[in-house]
């Protein structure tokens, strides 16, 4: 697994020390990232991920020193160096080195090649448990690096055999730590539009679902979540993952729902043919 990474113009081994200690990502949490993967060796929905990355950078006022085309070329190089069939890429853009520990001078841009995370095929089939957690992300439209609560709750999740946290606040449901949430009620597909990061898989699922379902993109209340027929979450790594337990609450009859599995099948078909 000879993975490499790109840092400010250089291609270097993935385990090399890279960041000096006055980086604003490290000192001030001033950074953002993005994450996507290849199917059949081709980055999935590359235009969408790039646009989202550009948008996060714009919201944190961090200029990009590199174009989409230049970046695509680097991805191709990193992929070739990996000698893997499939890889994931993680972009990290930080505020860069700051002599005064406060003001941005020049961002640091990192692209890591990563092995695909462990799949959870059992979860996709049988559904997962999540814990409701009262929280709303700060600057939710930015894919910022602020995941303190997720890391802090990792023990508790293991203890409760839960896979993730589901954020709600003031009676409204937003998202999971790194994925979006959909509910299905009376054959209508509903997903939150407030206080969320707009997931690419969320967008793809809505495209795939459009011929088959009425779709509502709007605020979703906690009560609706708790009375939904089906609940699922979407992300680059989770695809369409049924949620069958929310804390002590059982969703529907506790089994992965048929609409969720149907959409999962559509996504699986799309990615299996990606780039061919």
Binding site for its own copies (CB under 8 A): 5, 7, 14-31, 33, 60-61, 90, 92, 94-95, 100-104, 110, 112, 117, 138-139, 144-152, 154-155
Whole-number minimum distance, CB 118 to its own copies, in Å?
9
CB of 156 to its own copies, least distance (A): 10
Q: Least CB distance from residue 15 to its own copies, whole Å?
A: 6
What's the closest the beta carbon of residue 88 comes to its own copies, in angstroms?
A: 10
The CB-of-112 to its own copies minimum distance in angstroms stands at 6
Q: Which residue has the tokens 């023990």?
A: 155
**What's the min distance (Å) between Cβ of 26 and its own copies?**
5
* 120 three-state secondary structure: coil
**Under 8 Å between Cβ of 127 and 47:** no
Residue with smaller CB distance to its own copies, 95 or 132: 95
Which lies closer to its own copies via its Cβ, residue 17 or residue 211?
17
When the beta carbons of 141 and 229 are compared against its own copies, the nearer one is 141
Output 66 or 266, the one with its CB closest to its own copies: 66
> For residue 246, what are the β-bridge partners?
130, 249
Helix (H) or strand (E) holding 33: strand 31-39
**Contact predicate 240/85, CB 8 Å:** no
- The residues with which 241 forms a beta bridge, in sequence order, are 233
133 touches 165 (CB < 8 A): yes
CB atoms within 10 A of CB 62: 22
- In whole angstroms, give the CA distance from residue 176 to residue 163: 10
Which phi and psi angles does 6 have, rounded to 5°? -105, 135
Nearest CB to its own copies, comparing residues 28 and 203: 28
Asked if residue 25 lies in contact with residue 94, where contact means CB atoms within 8 angstroms, the answer is yes
Q: How far is the CB of 208 from its own copies (least distance, A)?
A: 28
Q: Which is nearer to its own copies, 116 or 188 (CB)?
A: 116
**Residue with Cβ nearer its own copies (150 or 255):** 150
Which residues contact residue 173 at a Cβ distance below 8 angstroms, ignoring those fewer than 6 apart?
166, 167, 181, 192, 220, 221, 222, 224, 225
Residues in contact with 224: Cβ distance below 8 Å, sequence separation at least 6, in sequence order: 173, 183, 185, 190
């Amino acid at each position: 697994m000879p993975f490499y990474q790109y840092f400010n113009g250089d291609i270097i081994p993935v385990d090399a020390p890279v960041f000096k200690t006055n980086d604003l990502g490290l000192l001030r949490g001033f950074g953002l990232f993005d994450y996507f993967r290849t199917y059949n060796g081709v980055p999935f929905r590359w235009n969408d991920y790039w646009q989202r990355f550009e948008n996060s950078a714009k919201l944190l006022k961090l200029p990009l020193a590199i174009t989409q085309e230049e970046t695509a070329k680097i991805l191709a190089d990193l992929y070739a160096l990996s000698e893997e069939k499939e890889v994931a890429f993680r972009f990290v853009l930080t505020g860069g080195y700051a002599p005064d520990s406060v003001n941005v001078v020049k961002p640091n841009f990192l692209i890591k090649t990563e092995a695909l995370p462990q799949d959870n095929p059992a979860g996709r089939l049988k559904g997962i448990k999540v814990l409701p957690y009262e929280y709303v992300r700060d600057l939710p439209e930015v894919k910022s690096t602020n995941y303190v609560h997720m890391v802090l709750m990792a023990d508790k999740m293991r203890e409760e055999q839960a896979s993730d946290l589901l954020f709600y606040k003031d009676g409204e449901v937003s998202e999971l730590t790194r994925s979006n949430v959909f509910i299905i009620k009376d054959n209508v597909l509903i997903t939150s539009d407030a206080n969320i990061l707009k997931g690419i898989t969320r967008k793809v699922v809505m495209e795939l679902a459009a011929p088959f379902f009425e779709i509502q993109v709007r605020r979703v209340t906690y009560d609706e979540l708790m009375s939904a027929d089906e609940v699922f979450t979407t992300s680059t790594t989770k695809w369409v993952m049924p949620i069958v337990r929310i804390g002590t609450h059982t969703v529907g009859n506790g089994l992965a729902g048929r609409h969720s599995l149907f959409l999962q099948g559509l996504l699986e078909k799309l990615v299996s043919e990606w780039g061919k």
